[in-house]
Amino acid sequence: MSNIDHNPLPPAVDPSILEALRTAATPTISDNLDRLPGIVGLRPFHRGGKLVGTALTVRVRAGDNLAIHQALNLVRPGDVVVVDGGGDISRALVGDIMKAIAESLGAAGFVIDGAVRDANAFKTSDFPCYARAAIHRGPYKMGPGAINIPVSIGGWTVNPGDVVVGDEDGVVTFPPTIAPSLIEAVRAQERREAEVLQMIREGRYDGRYGKVTAP
């Protein structure tokens, strides 16, 4: 009997929502999530490229990736494999082989609250991967673990089916139910910030956000 707890896959996020978020910066999204703590402490290991997709969540014991292997059997195009590894960095949870599998299945990327290895394979790739550290030591493959349950990534809860967005500044997640209003708020902030930058270039900015001097 498997010691991995499998749960049903969540609905995939509407592709139109994901597309609308491809140009949204994570700081702007974070500002409009009431500046809640969010995911912190992870950094990008890939060469470049935006991460946008649906959270497929995995919980593992420290240094063990059996549940991640099983989650890859379920991954759909556009899924982000979000792994709660408890922040442990004593052993890598994913490396080049698992990256290749995930990429071949159309996964959108990895978010790992733990360590990776084969760092150069990620560094020379545009397949998004966020993690705490890199280490040469490989994982155990004994379990236990769970798939598609709420997980904690650095103290922030990520639910199966959440929207995941990542860029050079980090990763944010949120429920798809708030996406339409969030996107609207993000666009409004983008317009305001563009106006401020234009004022600065034209010498009309007086140091108060949203205020202008006479032309």
Q: Is 98 one of the annotated binding-site residues?
A: yes
Q: How far is CA 102 from the centre of its chain?
A: 15
**C-alpha dihedral sign at 14, 15, 16, 21:** positive
Nearest to 30 by CA among 208, 196, 188, 182: 182
Q: Is 5 one of the annotated binding-site residues?
A: no
The CATH code for residues 4-13+35-174 is 3.50.30.40
Q: Is 154 one of the annotated binding-site residues?
A: no
Q: Is 34 one of the annotated binding-site residues?
A: no
d(CA 42, CA 113): 7
Q: What is the pTM of this model?
A: 0.92
57 CB-near residues (< 8 Å, 6+ apart): 82, 83, 84, 147, 148, 149, 150, 151, 158, 159, 160
The two structure tokens encoding residue 212: 């202008």
Domain-by-domain residue ranges, the chain? 4-13+35-174
What is the model's pLDDT at position 214? 38
- Specify whether the CB–CB gap between 164 and 82 falls below 8 A: yes
**In order along the chain (215 residues), what is the average pLDDT of each group of 10 residues?**
88 97 96 91 95 98 97 98 98 98 98 98 98 98 97 95 97 97 96 91 75 42
Q: Is 96 one of the annotated binding-site residues?
A: yes
d(CA 194, CA 52): 23
